[in-house]
Structure 1
Amino acid sequence: MKARFIGAAIFGITGVSILLSLGFWQMRRLEWKLALIDQIEARIHNDPVAVPADPNEERDRYLPVTAEGNFTGEAAFVLSSLREVGPGLRVIAVLETPEGRRLLVDRGFVPEARRDDVPLAVDDVTIEGNLDWPGDVDSYTPAPDLGRNLWFARDPGPMAEALDAESVLLVARQDSAAASPLLTMPISGVALKNDHLEYAITWFLLASVWAVMTIALLWRIRRTTV
Structure 2
Amino acid sequence: MLRLSTQMCRQGVWALSRLPSSRNALQTVTRKMTQQRAPADWTTSIRTEPKEKEKITALGWFLLLIPATTFGLGCWQVKRKIWKEQLIKDLHEQLNMAAVELPENLADLSHMEYRLVKVRGRFLHDKEMRMGPRSLIRPDGGETQGGLFSQRDAGNGYLIVTPFQLSNRDDIVLINRGWVSRKHVDPETRALAQPQTEVELTAVVRQGEARPQFTPDHKSANMYLYRDLPRMCESSGAAHVFLDAVYDPQAMSGGPIGGQTRVTLRNDHMSYLVTWFSLSAATSFLWYRQIVKRLAF
Q: Is the 8 A contact 1:92 1:105 kept in 2?
A: yes
After superposition, what is the alpha-carbon deviation per residue over 1:98-136, rounded to whole angstroms, capped at 9, x for unaligned?
Answer: 3354221122334556533565843244321221224x2
Pairs aligned (count): 220
Give the partner amino acid of 1:173.
V
For residues 181-214 of structure 1, the C-alpha deviation after alignment (integer angstroms, 9 at most, x for no partner) is 744235465x532221222122212222232333
2:205 pairs, out of 121, 131, 142, with: 131
Go from structure 1 to structure 2 and tell me whether the alpha carbon gap of 1:162 and 1:177 turns closer, same or farther (over 3 Å shift). farther
Partner of 1:30: 81
The C-alpha deviation readout for 1:41-72, integer Å capped at 9, x for no partner, is 33332222332222224443333212233322
Task: Name the CA distance, whole Å, in 2 between partners of 1:194 and 1:31.
Answer: 10
Out of 135, 157, 160, the position equivalent to 1:91 is: 160
CA displacement, residues 120-179 of structure 1 (integer Å, 9 cap, x when unaligned)? 843244321221224x20574757536353323213333112111121111111346464
Higher relative contact order (CA 8 A, sep 6+): 1
CA contact (8 A) 2:165 2:173 kept: yes
1:102 maps to which of 165, 169, 172: 172
Is 1:185 the counterpart of 2:259? The answer is yes
Output the CA distance in 1 between the equivalents of 2:60 and 2:180: 58
Q: Distance in 1 between matches of 2:273 and 2:89?
A: 21
1:62 aligns with 2:114: yes
Alignment of 1:98-177 (within 5 A): 98-99=167-168, 100-111=170-181, 114-116=184-186, 121-124=194-197, 125-134=199-208, 136-138=209-211, 140=213, 144-145=217-218, 147=220, 149-175=222-248, 177=251
Counterpart pick for 1:10 among 62, 76, 100: 62
Q: Which 5+ residue runs of structure 2 have no aligned equivalent?
A: 1-53, 136-142, 148-156
Q: Within 2, Cα distance between the matches of 1:151 and 1:123?
A: 24
Preserved CA contact (<8 Å) 2:289 2:295: no
| RMSD (CA atoms) | 3.4
- What is the one-letter code of the residue matched to 2:76? W
**Structure showing the higher strand proportion among its residues:** 1
Specify whether residues 147 and 153 from structure 1 end up closer, same or farther in structure 2 by C-alpha distance, changes over 3 A only: closer
> Which of 1 and 2 has greater Rg?
2
Aligned partner of residue 246 in structure 2, secondary structure = strand
**Equivalents in 2 of 1:63, 1:146: separation in Å?**
31
TM-score by length of 1: 0.76
Q: Any stretches of 5+ residues in structure 1 without a counterpart?
A: none
Residue aligning to 2:271:
198
Amino acid at match of 2:159: R
User: Residues 22 and 57 from structure 1, CA distance in 2 versus in 1: closer, same or farther, beyond 3 angstroms?
Assistant: farther
CA contact (8 A) 2:119 2:201 kept: yes
The Cα shift of 1:217 comes to 3.7
Q: What percentage of residue pairs aligned between the two structures are identical?
A: 20
Judge conservation of contact 2:134–2:146 (CA < 8 Å) in 1. yes
Question: CA–CA distance in 2 between the matches of 1:160 and 1:126?
Answer: 22
Q: What's the offset of the Cα at 1:27?
A: 1.8
The CA deviation at 1:19 is 1.7
Q: 2:287 aligns with which of 188, 201, 214?
A: 214
Cα distance change of structure 1 residues 18 and 57 upon mapping to structure 2, 3 Å threshold: farther
CA contact (8 A) 1:86 1:111 kept: no
